[in-house]
Structure 1
Amino acid sequence: MLPGDRGLLADPYPAYARLRERGVPHRVNLRSGLYGWLVTRYEDARAALADPRLSKDPRLAPPDWQEAGRGRPLEDRSGLGTHLLTTDPPEHTRLRRLVSRYFTPGRLEVLRPRIERRVDTLIDGLARTSGGDLIGDFAAPLQLATICDVLGVPAADRTDFQQWTTAVVSSGEGDSEARPEALRRLGAYVGELADAKRRDPGNDVISAITAAADDGERLSETELLAMIFLLLVAGFETTVGLIGLGVWTLLRHPAQLRLLRERPELVDAAVEELLRYDSAVEVATWRFAREPMELGGVRVPAGRPILVASAAANRDPGRFPEPDRLDITREDAAGHLSFGHGPHYCLGAMLARLTGRAALNGIVRRLPGLALAVPPERVPWRSSLTVRGPQSLPVVV
């Protein structure tokens, strides 16, 4: 069993349950040549996500792992390797502090009316055509416009940006050249965008952190480019996955969808339960043991690559009663690990929740006849180690 295996994309949970019952982390070998030890139990996963003995820096990995050509070694060759997902405190703390001020509840709340208007406009389009692709015609354009507005990406560049980020995150067969090329193009674009913001700054995140780098406040030029790269890619892909998986799940659970229509005040709880039940971030990004340590009852040598399976942890019956049952009234769903835990907790979690709530509210309020346009087994799934969800979701209205 491998995360991202094509045979398990639609439903990896029975396989995760078998691994979780065995308890200890299990070695997995990926098609890319990378390998690691997979953590599946909730308590082990939560502990690993916050353990300072597990580093985010892939340069601590064994040489054969680094030679597989993925992770930070590849991003370093593109000038994009030093960011929040590949650094540890105090470097990580410094980088995060600089950008976290732009993702506070107060700053994000002002976006709500604009996001809700976009939701209504996109739903108008689905209604006019009696359906379409909920990913390509709704979730992707909604989050693309939102994250690009926050960061300051010009509207004319957004189509190219979406194609590059999809190639960077996906890991399907035959993509050995697609990801390096997308990284190269993204690196070049990020550099051009930073130069443009220096010449003509706006009221956006990239303008602000570009000014900080120029003032010598905290970011070097390399850190600046890598930070912009990470915010663009992570801010887009994970929320698209949240919306796509959320709608897919509700359509497969009509009683829960009906309950949400009858009680729209449950939308906040519904978003948390959907995040728990089927996480768009199936596996957290890599960690590496700084020193020999114990994890999940086994001895972990220094340098061992660790993968935390958030999706498996979120279905652990030791933490969530009846974990395979979707229940949008569940009171403890917010304890899920879909946004991580500890110092690397997702910086964009608030923005993802805000967009996800607006999307579900709009769909529940305005599309009472929404249904899948194809049998569930014909829905295509994206192949990726980290971000999971339908590649497209054909629906009728």
Structure 2
Amino acid sequence: MTSADDPADAAVAAAERCTPEFRRNPYPVYGRLRRTAPVCPLNPPHGITTYLITRYEDARAALADPRLSKDMYGALESYRRIFGDSSVALDDHMLNADPPKHTRLRRLVNSGFTPHRVESLRPRVRQIVTGLLDDCPIGEPVDLLAAFAFPLPIIVICELLGVPPEDRPKVQSWSTTVAQTGFSPESKRAQQLAEEALHAYFAELVEQKRRRPSDDLLSVLIGARDENGRLTEHELISSAFLLMFAGHKTTAYLIGNAVLHLLRHPGQLRAVREDPALIAPAVEEVLRYDGSVETGTFRYATEDVGIGGTVIPRGALVQIALSSANRDPAKFDAPDTFDLARPANNQSAHLGFGHGIHYCLGAPLARLETQLALTGLFDRFPRVALADPAREPEWLVVPFPAFRGLVELPVVLEPPAP
């Protein structure tokens, strides 16, 4: 039983969450859920009742609540019903683990994402930004998502891991299939084939790097597996997949969302151009206002858990609506306003990278890439404009939903002079 003031209204809002209209603008629905059913039981397409948490304080507490487990093996039957056995083969990593396993796996991977290591990548990221913009066509529409926002983080994470340049297109293609899987038999089959291909690819890449190790992160993880026994082979392959998958999807969509909203708010964009110091706050405001991770990955209740006046029963799945929490007026002033001048303590409190022990390991790298992408784009093309400002953007349709991102972002980098 929820604490909804109007359960019927909450049920309608929950159903609307799966419609194309919701994908275009989910925030009114989330606002209604925060008011009427802040912890709302849903009946999603996968058929397993899932509780959706929408208020900021509840979401922040839930992200750090050890009773909401991330250990997929503790809810393996539900996990298999949703994702299938091919996903299990790739998902034995820190994102799907609780301490002490999570602690062990995260510590091993952390060396690749220390502040010093990330800062050392700045010249190379700036070089990649420049090269990608060099290759973009001038004076005609270009999909900035395909030409710029996606290639940038793919190149960075693949170089960090040690994925050869010639392999990146197929790895990205398989990852896209996995990310956009639906529930039809055809979609599930495509997902299975893509996941099997990814597993085979990383297994082979691990063997290649065993024979010829280098200074990349995957070679470091192989050393931890072979020399110290701190990783199983299953964990090694799954961790490689996680880093590649999470290391480019969310950042690419974040760059796209940031460009869209700055172009739609010319006054805010003008402020960024006049004061480059606003680039970092701009990225934080995009993360709050329309970040690329809409809901956290699944958790499940290891016991009956009371949140926001609702008891989530033992064994139930839980999703935390980060996008809703980041628009909660109980936490953020004028939350539906895109405002780069928002006070820092009100802006940086967002949950765009999560909270607690599963706070995004790659957050510093994502921030660096997005800041340099925006700086490079608007410095190089100060008059960049949407190719068709009147056209409603098409947003990614995903089954859970997890990602919040555009399907494409058509712009003209150098429009004709007015």
TM-score bracket, shorter-length normalisation: over 0.9
2:113/2:361 contact within 8 Å kept = yes
Which position in structure 2 is the counterpart of 1:162? 172
Superposition deviation, residue 139 in structure 1: 0.6
Residue of structure 1 aligned with 2:115, choices 105, 118, 131 = 105
Deviates more, 1:81-90 or 1:151-160: 81-90
Deviations 1:153-197 (A, max 9, x none): 000100001101111111346522221111110000010110111
Instruction: Using the aligned pairs only, state the percent identity.
Output: 46
Match of 1:58 among 65, 72, 96: 72
Letter in 1 for 2:248: F
Which amino acid is the alignment partner of residue 412 of structure 2?
A: V
Across the two proteins, how many residue pairs are aligned to each other?
Answer: 393
Any conservation in 2 of the 1:62–1:304 contact (CA below 8 Å)? no
Instruction: Rate the CA distance shift 1:374–1:212 in 2: closer, same or farther, 3 A.
Output: same
Q: What letter is aligned with 1:333?
A: Q
1:20 paired residue number:
34
- Return the offset for 1:62: 8.5
What are the within-5 Å matches in structure 2 for residues 1-397 of structure 1? 1=14, 3=17, 5-61=19-75, 63=77, 65-66=78-79, 68-70=81-83, 73-76=85-88, 79-128=89-138, 130-172=140-182, 174=184, 175-330=187-342, 331=344, 332-375=346-389, 377-384=391-398, 385-397=401-413
Contact 2:294 2:402 in 1 (8 A): yes
SS at match of 2:377: helix
**Alpha-carbon deviation of 1:110?**
1.2
- Mapped to 1, the partners of 2:320 and 2:287 lie a distance apart of 16
| Deviation per residue, 1:222-244 (Å, 9 max, x gap) | 11011101111011101001101
Contact 2:70 2:300 in 1 (8 A): yes
Change (3 A) 1:292 1:391: same
Provide TM-score, normalisation by structure 2: 0.90
**Contact 1:243–1:359 (CA under 8 A) maintained in structure 2:** yes
**Change beyond 3 A, Cα 1:229–1:137:** same
- TM (norm. structure 1) is 0.95
CA contact (8 A) 1:23 1:296 kept: no
Answer yes or no: is the 8 Å Cα contact 2:51–2:312 preserved in 1.
no
> Does the residue aligned with 1:368 lie in a helix, a strand or coil?
coil
Structure 1 letter corresponding to 2:83: R
Mapped to 2, the partners of 1:83 and 1:251 lie a distance apart of 38
Distance change (3 Å), C-alpha of 1:62 and 1:110 = closer
CA-to-aligned-CA distance 1:33-83 (integer Å, 9 cap, x gap): 3431100000000000000111012343495x3453417x5422xx21311
Partner of 2:5: none
Superposition RMSD on alpha carbons, in Å? 1.7
**Range that drifts further, 100-109 or 367-376:** 367-376
Quote the Cα distance in structure 2 between the aligned partners of 1:347 and 1:166.
21
- Tell me how far 1:262 sits from its aligned partner: 1.2
In structure 1, list runs of 5 or more residues that go unmatched: none
Measure, in 2, the Cα distance between the counterparts of 1:34 and 1:381: 25
DSSP 3-state at the match of 1:26: strand
- Tell me if the contact between 2:86 and 2:196 (Cα under 8 Å) persists in the aligned partners: no
Question: Partner of 1:381: helix, strand, or coil?
Answer: coil
